[in-house]
Structure 1
């Protein structure tokens, strides 16, 4: 049997472990010492560090200097941080609130209702509790629901939850709005890189672009200093829009040797560059390692929307960005082949994209 057709061990729902009232986490969730989070952070410097917060409405200002300045801030965030938050992004705050509420309701359903959507590693679509199929691997303290949104040929609403009743309708509406927002950002990235406005969009497949969503549920954890909700990784795809939990911080972004805990801005999206844009930009823009810490007192929910290249298109550095002084750093590869790494081994820092880099 193909190793991606079935899980190597019985699936345990982390939410059920948390609800059982256990005081020690099982050994398979205890991370190696070097990977454990430090929950006692050093005092922040006078100018408190946080990822850049950018007002997207300024991209459409009648004042050209404001438009240009905003584009420059975005470009700097992409090259220096790989992450930024956007406000005034055009997505309804009410829709954001409703989609978060409906997914909270899903995770509060009886386990047999959720179990009807149990996933397999063949597509990961559905209700899941692990990434990676290596037997005996250390697991993350989280459950999730993963679904395909684009291309429409992969979209199967029967695999989306039928309860709560409004879930499927809200997912479709929300996905449509986020696809529009991603399209706008792709144009900004293209122009900032010195490419034609539609370059990245075409490289991703144009009308056949891919998109999927993972709703992450991080239950309370009795020993949050021993585990992670999501291990360190860079996103394998193109770009991610994260609708974070406004009330419980959890996302940490690597900054040099340190981890910065992101302070979510209400009604913002956290945008991060994925490996495919790092490859297309020939590492001008960088995907950055990030991870999620968990909490002993509060559960946490976030929605990650992944905007990706069509899985069958070869992705390689844009020829306009390749010169004698800046040779192509990466070989051409389809996203379908690329993402098999994380689906097999689970999150492993930036080891995949770095391993592809050509020695020069």
Structure 2
């Protein structure tokens, strides 16, 4: 890349940030930030009103704290990636069915070293246990979302979720700013860098299989995402102990706005729940597995052949929980619409073209709102 290209990309990125600021994503949150971890450590006997969900949104089943769940517990599909890469068509078909029915699956034998997975978990766990002032140095803002945060959405007075997080960018490289990555613990940048590189490779492998299962060429989905300039970012979620877990949620129901989410769940504490019909399934994470879910952009590109499912996170009063969500996303300014090969006179496109940047602006302004946004665009096309 020459200097002129670099200047143009930087100007384009700046223009996008300025556009978001004009639409309401400025440098300041609408009200003082409440760090959930500090609330949890203040010996509260209940949760503040801002965190109490309406009865219709609360998790009303028994909250499971520790792995493993019962052997016969309902779970999302488990997919052996090495088997698919070795040519096992039956496992490839099972992945296709998981994408069409659940939009979620666990992947084992995925090629990422367990030692690296453990190191990433431990480095970020240590970060969240640093003194408050060390973390506050990386406080984020609505304009870029990057850094240490405690809320989604900029609506003043909105109900909040019981979590703190850290968000950072990997790709495109113009958005990667190591100054916004924490420097403590001392190995966190090195471990996170290697972890991100491995998950980008895993995302690329999954994209080829997803394309093939749709009956299009293996490169098709990646080309739709952008061969150059596609996005990769990570949100580390920290869910402190909650004194009244039946009143709150760690993360409200939502579908992810992007392409693929590769989640490294907590290896001790359950919390992720996936909506399947009218049932919320508590995911029983297997050792050294990733939980993969398809985002709204994959539902759009597949013209609803693939499904992006609602999910939420429950909390508990006995243990903290942490997860690392890695997002593999389209280039921010490419119009995303159903693949031409999947559209016909009898199967018209269900979604209008829209860039990922425009799409994700919704969740960054409104916060998690189920599948409101992707469903509203189906109705736009169909009148």
Cα deviation, residue 47, structure 1: 5.1
Q: Which SS does the other structure have where 2:235 is aligned? A: strand
* Residue equivalent to 1:11: 33
* Residue equivalent to 2:143: 122
1:193-204 matched pairs, under 5 angstroms: 193-204=214-225
| 2:330 is the alignment partner of 1:309 | yes
RMSD: 1.5
| 2:75 is the alignment partner of 1:50 | yes
Rounded to whole Å, the distance in 1 between the matches of 2:72 and 2:116 is: 33
Rounded to whole Å, the distance in 1 between the matches of 2:61 and 2:323 is: 20
Structure 1 gap ranges (5+):
none
* Residue equivalent to 1:320: 341
Rounded to whole Å, the distance in 2 between the matches of 1:339 and 1:54 is: 29
* Residue equivalent to 2:49: 27
* Residue equivalent to 1:274: 295
Report the CA distance shift for 1:45/1:328 in structure 2 as closer, same or farther (over 3 A). farther
TM-score normalised by structure 1 residue count: 0.96
Cα deviation, residue 288, structure 1: 0.1
Cα deviation, residue 46, structure 1: 9.6
1:1-360 matched pairs, under 5 angstroms: 2=22, 3-5=24-26, 6-40=28-62, 48-61=73-86, 64=87, 67-357=88-378, 358-359=381-382
Rounded to whole Å, the distance in 1 between the matches of 2:35 and 2:131 is: 12
Ranges of 4+ aligned residues in structure 1 off by more than 4 Å? 44-47
TM-score normalised by structure 2 residue count: 0.91
Rounded to whole Å, the distance in 1 between the matches of 2:299 and 2:198 is: 25
Cα deviation, residue 301, structure 1: 0.4
Rounded to whole Å, the distance in 2 between the matches of 1:40 and 1:323 is: 46
1:42-79 CA distance string (max 9 Å, x none): 9x999531000111110132xx4xx2111101000000
- The alignment covers a number of residue pairs equal to 355
